[in-house]
Amino acid sequence: MKNRATAKRLIERYFRQLTEGCGNSNCTNEFCASHSAFQPLDNNSAAAKSLELFKVNAKLCDYYPSVRSSTDASSQMGSKMSVDEFSDVHYLTEHTVCRILGFCEEEGDYAPLIRVIGRIFSNADALMKSFRKDELSVTNNLESLTSNDEKQRETSKKEDASTRAALPDETPNGLPDACELTVDIDAVRRVYDRLLSIDQVEAALVNALIYLTPNVELDLEYLDVYETSPDYLNIFIIVMENSNLHSPEYLEVALPQFCKAMSKLPLTALARLSKLWSTYDLPHIRRMMETFQQLITFTVVSNEYDTENLVNDNETVVAATQCLKIIFYASILGGEVDVEHNEEDEEDSESNELTLHELLGEERLYKKGPRVDPLEKELGVRPIDSIRPLIPFEDFVNDSLNDVIEMDKDFTFFKVNAETKFSFQSCPFILNMITKSQGLYYDNRIRMYSERRLTALYSMVQGQQPSPYLKLKVRRDHIIDDALVRLEMISMENPSDLKKQLFVEFEGEQGVDEGGVSKEFFQLVLEEIFNPDIGMFTYADDAHLFWFNSSSLENEAQYTLIGIVLGLAIYNNCILDVHFPMVVYRKLMGKRGTFLDLSDSHPVLHQSLKGLIDYTGSLEHDMVLTFQISHTDLFGNPILYNLKEQGDQIPVTKENRQEFVDLYVEYILNKSVERQFKAFKKGFLMVTNESPLKYLFRPEEVELLICGSRKLDFEALEKTTEYDGGYSKDSQIIKDFWEIIHSFGEKQKRQFLQFTTGTDRAPVGGLAKLKMIIAKNGSDTDRLPTSHTCFNALLLPEYSSKEKLRERLLKAITYAKGFGML
């Protein structure tokens, strides 16, 4: 339907060109009524000819309308000047605009300026040729510009980052542009500063943009104008310099149409825009980001959406989101970026055999390998490469949009109908954590159901009893050994079983795993694996974090197990009490550890190495360091390691200290733990390698998925808590209980959360998503409150006074380790 409507609009343009002409008295197009040799056609003949021209993609003229404001119309009769005073102006330069402005100010009438602005800004060819850099050489000899002015302009041109972006051999990621940018951006900004102060000109700009953009959209979609004329990009560069695009006059019609036209640009053009805008200073790039965000918000709140009327079908929201993506990558390119230091991805062996998914026609739902955004690939930079973007990632999230997205439908578009339907998961930067986690939840559940179906089909063929779950039967006192043996067997024999829903059973105990038993299993496994006596991980008291023990005696299977456990936690929507530095999640997502990561994982060492880099004295005499370092093993014995061959013979100097630091960090964060981390990552990917985790989430968001949020809103928890055993929200002890909880400090609140749920963090979406239960556990007693962490349940006796409740509760949460938590 959309293509048919577009074709109709294009044919109508040919028809108007044949019957009315383009308005250019010097037109050279033989199929235009404005051409001097054109023979007039009746409407029927023109209609037939229009269809012929459409089929062969014949040349379309730009139209020269008379765009004027009501002020222009009312003053036209009384004006002394000729209507054609500036009819010879076919494109704009800064000098031309200043000349016309001066004339209008002298006459006290802006009508000529309004006509010229309307004519040029509504005409793609005229606007494309405007404000060219090469016009600077023409204006050098004009009397209005002094030699000093020219020197200042040349200096500012060299210094301005936006102008530097135009160089074909110098782009932010080292890739050459398709061709040199030809717009003098400084001149455009100065012109806008003068024009936007005149109300009548603002109206002319709005009207011109409304007329310009549908024609530009058609040109891009059907005539491939950018391929033949890369300068066509100038139109978008010039229009986006208008600082009033976010104002109400543009939001209704002009800006939505402009975004739709911009979204039709080919990939190479989008990449050029992104690279150019990455060189702008922060206020300019932020203004553009806020312009697109404002259009999205305005459109969303102005409409109503439901399961039948999806926001995915709103062309304005979709186009503005796609335009926002250009700014998103510009923000990354313009900030601090590290495109190096990447972990090598292990290649999955491809099989020529048809899978059952392919035989069932479901291969699109279960594509292997992570997605790659086309613009990301074209630019050669990923969000994970960003150290510090120009604009924080959080500012690209649009909450109004997130509130109306139907994630079940969006997920279907993302996985199945990507060619015909737009999914907001293709622009994950605009989604918040709750929305993205919903998308991941649907992906996980679909895979679980799929594995059940495949198991049933295999069982029917092989005559075996189907097992739709990932069943783990473990003994409490041998939980690591049992889990390791079972998961290792599954990972070798049938790794796809890891994608089934987890079902844990403790030997000798009755009970159905509805999520609580699995949660307890995760807690017990983590408690044992992170036990310092086992020696798999070391604990840094200064950072309160665990790190891989480079001299661990445990085999790789143990590390693979903890990787599988983290993957299963995400897959089964469980929060884990894990304390890893951020570099672990960055490495899981494909980056190697660097000096910046050291501040989080090894703060004392980071401070020492930073002091070494900043030291102004004589390193050879004052510090006497060599390229040999030492650290201790599991038993406290020193281990010497040469960072370079014969490192003990190479002194650290001012000249080579950066190399020393880089090699030291590479050893600590990568080489020394390579065996352990590789096994750990292998286990993690066994569960998550086919999910959109790497595409949708950044490392800090993966940590949030696994460990939960540190932001605690106990007011929200109180509203969603349920009561059992005779308690209700109106019970006096419950009122006292919440008063006590709200009076606690941050540390005590975290202790209470740890006591009740097994972790001191909130799940994605906050404490309101926790579903805590407070159940009555007898009448007044001296017994302490207890908890079932696997069910987020607090068992609370009905104490006789508020003071006793506070004293008993504090004692329970303070001394809870190994006591009171069931």
Eight-class DSSP state of 23: S
- Report residue 719 as tokens: 């509203």
- Which of 116, 255, 272, 138 minimizes the C-alpha distance to 195? 116
Report d(CA 307, CA 468) in Å as an integer. Answer: 31
HEC string for 726-784: CCCCCCHHHHHHHHHHHHCCHHHHHHHHHHHHCCCCECCCCHHHCCCEEEECCCCCCCC
- SS3 state of residue 542: coil
Report d(CA 302, CA 318) in Å as an integer. Answer: 15
CA 251, 92, 273 angle in degrees (round to 5)?
Answer: 55
Which residues, 6 or more positions from 493, have their beta carbon under 8 angstroms from its beta carbon?
none
Q: β-pairing, 628-632 with 386-388?
A: unpaired
549 near 659, Cβ under 8 Å? no
- Which of 1, 89, 11 minimizes the C-alpha distance to 47? 11
- Please state the φ and ψ torsions of residue 726, each to the nearest 5 degrees: 115, -10
Eight-class DSSP state of 421: S
- Which of 709, 722, 723 minimizes the C-alpha distance to 753? 709
- SS3 state of residue 64: coil
Q: Edge to edge, what strands does the sheet with 722-724 contain?
A: 722-724, 773-776, 793-796, 786-788
Report d(CA 331, CA 363) in Å as an integer. Answer: 35
711 near 593, Cβ under 8 Å? no
Q: What are the distances in angstroms from CA 637 to CA 120, 266, 640, 664?
A: 78, 61, 10, 19
Count the Cβ atoms, other than its own, within 10 Å of residue 726. Answer: 9
- SS3 state of residue 745: coil
- SS3 state of residue 548: strand
Report d(CA 375, CA 265) in Å as an integer. Answer: 12
Report d(CA 390, CA 286) in Å as an integer. Answer: 9
Report d(CA 759, CA 405) in Å as an integer. Answer: 30
- What are residue 795's DSSP bridge partners? 775, 786
Report d(CA 635, CA 89) in Å as an integer. Answer: 84
Report d(CA 688, CA 568) in Å as an integer. Answer: 8
Return the half-sphere exposure (C-beta side, CA atoms, 13 A cut-off) of residue 286: 11
578 near 526, Cβ under 8 Å? yes
Report d(CA 336, CA 316) in Å as an integer. Answer: 32
Q: What are the distances in angstroms from CA 802 to CA 533, 736, 822?
A: 41, 6, 25
Report d(CA 35, CA 21) in Å as an integer. Answer: 8
CA dihedral 756, 760, 764, 766 (to 10 degrees): 70
- Which of 89, 322, 134 minimizes the C-alpha distance to 231? 134
497 near 470, Cβ under 8 Å? yes
Q: β-pairing, 793-796 with 773-776?
A: parallel
| Active site positions, annotated | 790
- Report residue 586 as tokens: 């960055």
Count the Cβ atoms, other than its own, within 10 Å of residue 29. Answer: 18
Report d(CA 763, CA 720) in Å as an integer. Answer: 14
Report d(CA 2, CA 675) in Å as an integer. Answer: 55
